[in-house]
Amino acid sequence: PSVHTTNITTTEGKPLRAEPGLQDDP
């Protein structure tokens, strides 16, 4: 499973943005 996904909130409360190379699923 991809760790970095769009519209997903991290444990720090910061929204994850789609980063090139880190996103496995489109």
C-beta of residue 22 within 8 angstroms of C-beta of residue 4: yes
Question: So what's the pLDDT on residue 25?
Answer: 57
Question: So what's the pLDDT on residue 6?
Answer: 58
Measured CA to CA, the distance from residue 22 to residue 11 in angstroms comes to: 18
* Secondary structure letter of residue 22 according to DSSP: T
Q: What percent of the chain is modeled with pLDDT above 70?
A: 0
- List pLDDT tens digits, range 6-18: 555 555 656 556 5
DSSP secondary structure string for all residues of 1-26: --S--TTEE-TTSPEE---TTT----
What are the boundaries of each domain within the chain? 1-26
Question: So what's the pLDDT on residue 15?
Answer: 57
